[in-house]
Amino acid sequence: MPEATNQPNEENIPAEFVFPKTWDACPNCGNPERLIEKIANEEKAAGKMPKNVPVGVQFGNLAICDPSAPASRVPLLSTRFDICTQCGTFYCIYVDKQIAQTQIQLPNQPGPHNPGRNPFSGPFINPRLS
């Protein structure tokens, strides 16, 4: 099984906690070719796509925190996935840990993440009581 590669370990940190991590081959069959990466490279070579755009089937961000505790900085794992061209395995090709800035917001206060009541929803009417 291919091992993840990551940055040099200068602070005696265990390898599983050193980021970013990348996987260069399929963990199932060892094939280094990836479907979306292959298609994107053809598009980049034809000039239809910028050359520095990261590609993958799925991108994700996972906040590593207690959602009920307010915080102004939150650790975040960013992930990227692709598909093996030989066996079709869906696997992670990239993981990085970042710190995201957040805005602390009180409940029921209007703001960018809590606009308050949805102006497009009407009052709830229970059909059983009408």
In a domain, 5, yes or no: no
Query: In which domain, by residue range, is 34 found?
Result: 19-101
For residues 32 and 20, what is the distance between their CA atoms, to the nearest angstrom?
19
Total number of domains constituting the chain: 1
In a domain, 39, yes or no: yes
- Confidence check: pLDDT of 15 > 60: yes
- Confidence check: pLDDT of 108 > 70: no
In a domain, 81, yes or no: yes
In a domain, 29, yes or no: yes
- Confidence check: pLDDT of 2 > 70: no
Read off the pLDDT of residues 60-85 as tens digits, 9 standing for 90 and up.
Answer: 888 887 777 777 788 888 899 999 99
Q: Look at residue 110 in the predicted model and tell me its pLDDT.
A: 57
**pTM score, whole prediction:** 0.63
Pairing of strands 21-22, 90-101: antiparallel
Average pLDDT over residues 94-122: 65
Q: Look at residue 109 in the predicted model and tell me its pLDDT.
A: 58
Sign of CA dihedral 53, 36, 80, 19: negative
- Confidence check: pLDDT of 39 > 50: yes
In a domain, 106, yes or no: no
Q: Which residue has the higher pLDDT, 68 or 58?
A: 58
In a domain, 121, yes or no: no
In a domain, 7, yes or no: no
- Confidence check: pLDDT of 104 > 90: no
- Confidence check: pLDDT of 28 > 70: yes
**Which of 41, 4, 26 shows the shortest CA–CA distance to 91?**
26
In a domain, 36, yes or no: yes
